[in-house]
Amino acid sequence: MVKIGAVDTATPIQESIAGIYQSESRRVLATLIRLLGDFDAAEEALHDAFRAALEQWPAEGMPANPRAWLVSTGRFKAIDAARRRARFDALEDMGEKADPVFIDTDAWADDESVEDDRLRLIFTCCHPALAPDAQVAMTLREVCGLTTEEIARAFLTPAPTLAQRIVRAKNKIRDARIPYEVPSRAELPERLEAVLRVIYLVFNEGYSASSGEQVTRHDLSAEAIRLGRLLVALLPEPEGQGLLALMLLHDSRRAARTSPDGDLVLLEDQDRSLWNRDQIAEGVRLVEHAFSSGRPGPYAIQAAIAAVHAEAPAAAATDWNEVVGLYDLLMRMTPSPIVELNRAVAIAMRDGPAAGLAIIDGLLDGGELREYRLAHAVRGELCRRLGRTADAQVSFARALKLTRQEPERRLIERRLADVSK
Amino acid sequence: MKYLCLVYLEPDKLHAVPDRECAMSGQRLRERGVLVAAEALEPIETATTVRVRNGKLLVTDGPFAETKEQLAGFYLVDAHDLNEAIQIASKIPPAREGSVEVRPVRELVP
C-alpha cells in the first residue's frame, strides 16, 4: 500500500496526488481490471502507478491527463512484472497485447469507457454467483476502496475471515470466469436487484445495528449512500433512484432517532426539527423521479412511504390514507407478512387500533410472525391504546423475550413498565 | 471454456420432464454449437462406487454421498463465460424441477 500525503511534510504536488488518489483511484482500478483481466494484478498495478506518480510528478510536473497517465503506467508496470515473472516461458504469448507503444492511452481512459468500467466493477462484485457476504465485502473493498480491516470492523467479523471471503470471491471470478461486463438489457432488472440488495444491506448494517462502534457504523450508511449516488449517476434506473431516496429519507432522521443517552425514539415522538431537510428534499425529488417513470418498484414505494412521513409537519398530521394506499401497492408487488404488519399499523393509525389489531391477530394466527419481535411489540401497543392492559403486558413480554438489540430492549421495557403501572 | 452442468433431481421428480423435451433441448444446444456431450442417468439404485486403497479394489453398492437430490444427468457445454453457462443451464428443462450445478472444467496441467 502506498502512503500518500503524510500530512505535515506534504508538498503541494503530494497533496494533489493524494487528492487524485481520493477521487480517481477507484476509477483507475476499475479500468485496470478490464485491461489486465485480474483483480490482484490490477490492485498491484494501481499502487505501482501511484508510487511512480509520487516519484516522477514532483520533478516532471503533473501530466495533462493524470488518470490516463495512471492507467497507462499501471498497465505498463503490470505487463513488465508479468514479463519478469514469465521470463523463460510464453513470452511470445504476451507479445501481441503487451506492447504499450501501440496503444492509444486516451482511448481506454476516456470518460465514457471509464464510467462503464465502474459499472462493470459494481456488477461483477455483486454477481449472484458470489456468496451474499462476499458480494458485500467485494463491493466495499473494490468499489468503495475500504480496507479489509475497515470492513471487518464494521461487520464485527474477524479480519482474516473477511480477507478469506475476498480471496475466495476473486478466485471464483477468475476460475469460473465471471465476465467483467455490464449485463444486457434482458438481464439488467435481475442483476440490478442484486446490486441494490447489496447497497441496502450495507446501509441497514450502518443504520439499524445497535452493537459496535457507532461512528464506524454510521460510516457504513454514508458509504451505502455514496454507492447509491454513484449507481444512480452511472445508471439512472427508477429502482436505483428509489433506493437512494429510501436511504436518504431514513438517514435524514438519524439525529432524532436516538436520545442523548442512546435510547431509541419512535417516529411519532421524534423532534422533527432535527430532521435533515436537505436530505429530505433530495429524497423526495428522487421519489418523484422514480414514480414519473411509471414503473415504481418496491424501493421507490417504500421511499414514497418514508417521504409521506418526512413531509408531515407533525406525527398527527401524517397522511395515513396515503400511507395505506402505498402499502396496498407494495403488498401487490411484494406480498409478505412484514409488509402486511406495516400496513396494519397504517390501518390502525387511519381507522383506529381495533382495525389494525384484527389484522395483526390474523397474521399471528397464521404463524409466520410468531417469532417476530416487532409483531408482538405492535400488538402490545395497540392493546394498550384499546385499554386491554393484560393483553398488552403479554405481548410486550413476548417481544422483550425475542429482542436482541439493546436500545430496542430498553424501549420495550419502558412500554411494559408503563402498562404494568 | 467448458462447464459441466450437473442436473440434480429428487427421486420422485426423475421423470417429471418428458424424455422428448429433454432430447429436444439437447438438440437445440447441439445446433447452437455449445453442447459437447449430454446424457441422462439411470436412478441412483443402479450406482456402484469404486475405490482403490493400497492397490486393492473396493466395490460398494450405491452412491458415494447420500443426498436428497440425486445426480440425474449432465450437460458438458462450451461457453464464453459463466454468464453464458448460466444462461444455457437455465434452458435445461429439469432446472425447473430440481437444480443444475454449473462447474467450470479445470484444464489439467501437463
| Cβ-based interface (< 8 Å): residues of A facing B | 129, 175-179, 181, 183, 187
CATH number of domain containing B7 = 3.30.70.1060
Distance from CA of B45 to the nearest CA of A (A): 32
pTM: 0.85
Residue A195, CA atoms < 13 Å, CB-side half-sphere:
30
Give the pLDDT of residue A210.
46
For the stretch A300-341, pLDDT in tens is 999 999 999 999 999 999 999 999 999 999 999 999 999 999
Give the pLDDT of residue A113.
78
Report yes or no: A94 and A58 within 8 Å, Cβ to Cβ: no
Tell me which residue of A73, A80, A55, A60 sits closest to A2, measured CA to CA.
A55
Counting every residue, how long is chain B? 110
* Containing structural domain, residue B28: 2-104
Strands (E), A80-224: none
Q: Is residue B43 part of a domain?
A: yes
Instruction: Mark out the alpha helices in A99-213 (DSSP H runs).
Output: 111-125, 132-138, 148-154, 159-175, 188-208
Grid cell for residue B33: 454449437
Which site among A120, A127, A171, A177 would you substitute to test the B interface, given the most B Cβ atoms closer than 10 Å to its Cβ? A177
Quick check: B1 contacting A, CB < 8 Å? yes
Report the share of chain A in percent with pLDDT over 70. Answer: 90
Grid cell for residue B105: 472444467
Rounded CA-CA distance A163/B80 in Å is 29
Report the share of chain B in percent with pLDDT over 70. Answer: 100
The CATH fold assigned to A7-88 is: Rna Polymerase Sigma Factor; Chain: A (1.10.1740)
B82 closest CB neighbour out of A129, A183, A187? A129
Name chain A contacts of B81, Cβ cutoff 8 Å.
Answer: 177-179
Q: Is residue B110 part of a domain?
A: no
Which site among B3, B80, B84, B86 would you substitute to test the A interface, given the most A Cβ atoms closer than 10 Å to its Cβ? B86
Name chain B contacts of A175, Cβ cutoff 8 Å.
Answer: 104, 106
Number of domains chain B contains = 1
Give the pLDDT of residue A100.
43
pLDDT band of residue A137 (cuts 50, 70, 90) is very high
Q: Is the pLDDT of residue A91 over 60?
A: no
For the stretch B93-103, pLDDT in tens is 999 999 999 99
Report the share of chain A in percent with pLDDT over 90. Answer: 72
For the stretch A67-84, pLDDT in tens is 999 999 999 999 998 888
Strands B2-9, B99-104: pairing kind: antiparallel
Give the pLDDT of residue A2.
52
User: For residue A175, what is the nearest residue in chain B, using CA coordinates?
Assistant: B104
> Cβ separation of B81 and A129 shorter than 8 Å?
no
Name chain A contacts of B83, Cβ cutoff 8 Å.
Answer: 178-179, 181, 183, 187
Name chain B contacts of A183, Cβ cutoff 8 Å.
Answer: 83
Quick check: B105 contacting A, CB < 8 Å? no
Distance from CA of B2 to the nearest CA of A (A): 10
Distance from CA of A88 to the nearest CA of B (A): 17
Give the pLDDT of residue A102.
43
Distance from CA of B91 to the nearest CA of A (A): 15
Residue B99 pairs with which residues in a beta bridge? B8
Name chain A contacts of B90, Cβ cutoff 8 Å.
Answer: none
- Specify the amino acid at residue A236: P
Q: Is the pLDDT of residue A153 over 70?
A: yes
For the stretch A19-43, pLDDT in tens is 999 889 999 999 999 999 999 999 9
Q: Which of residues 83-102 of B touch A (CB under 8 A)?
A: 83, 86, 102
> Cβ separation of B83 and A176 shorter than 8 Å?
no
Rounded CA-CA distance A305/A310 in Å is 9
Tell me how many residue pairs between chain A and chain B have CB atoms under 8 A apart: 21
For the stretch A379-416, pLDDT in tens is 999 999 999 999 999 999 999 999 887 888 888 999 99
pLDDT band of residue A107 (cuts 50, 70, 90) is low
For the stretch A171-230, pLDDT in tens is 999 999 999 999 998 889 899 999 999 999 999 888 776 454 454 566 889 999 999 999
CB atoms within 10 A of CB B9: 22
Chain mean pLDDT for chain A? 89
> Cβ separation of A187 and B83 shorter than 8 Å?
yes
pLDDT band of residue A376 (cuts 50, 70, 90) is very high
**Residues 6+ positions from A49 with CB-CB distance below 8 Å:** A28, A70, A71, A73, A74, A77
> Cβ separation of A177 and B86 shorter than 8 Å?
no
> Cβ separation of A129 and B86 shorter than 8 Å?
yes
